[in-house]
Amino acid sequence: MSGNIVYIGIGSNLGNAIDNVTGAISSLGRLADTLLEKASSLYRTAPIDADGDDYVNAVVKISTTLTPESLLKALWQIEKTFGRQRPYRNAPRTLDLDMLLYNADCISTAHLTIPHPRMTERAFVLVPLAEIAPDIVIPKQEPLPILLERVKNQEIHRI
Query: What distance in Å separates the CA atoms of residue 21 and residue 103, rounded to the nearest whole number?
Result: 23
Q: What is the share, in percent, of the chain residues with pLDDT greater than 70?
A: 92
12-31 average pLDDT score? 95
Residue 5's alpha-carbon distances to 55, 66, 113, 118, in angstroms, are 26, 10, 16, 20
**Could you confirm whether 49 is annotated as catalytic?**
no
**Catalytic-labelled residue, pool 96, 122, 135, 158:** 96
Helix (H) or strand (E) holding 9: strand 4-12
**Could you confirm whether 98 is annotated as catalytic?**
yes
Is 80 exceeded by the pLDDT of residue 1?
no
CB 17 within 8 A of CB 92: no
Is 60 exceeded by the pLDDT of residue 119?
yes
**Catalytic-labelled residue, pool 19, 84, 105, 135:** 84
Confidence of residue 90 (pLDDT cuts 50, 70, 90): low
Give me the pLDDT at residue 70, please: 96
Reported as a single tens digit per residue, the pLDDT across 46-63 is 887 776 789 999 999 999
81-98 average pLDDT score? 75
**Catalytic-labelled residue, pool 19, 89, 98, 135:** 98
Q: How many CB atoms lie within 10 A of CB 21?
A: 25
pTM greater than 0.75: yes
Nearest to 62 by CA among 120, 2, 122: 2
Is 60 exceeded by the pLDDT of residue 87?
no
**Could you confirm whether 84 is annotated as catalytic?**
yes
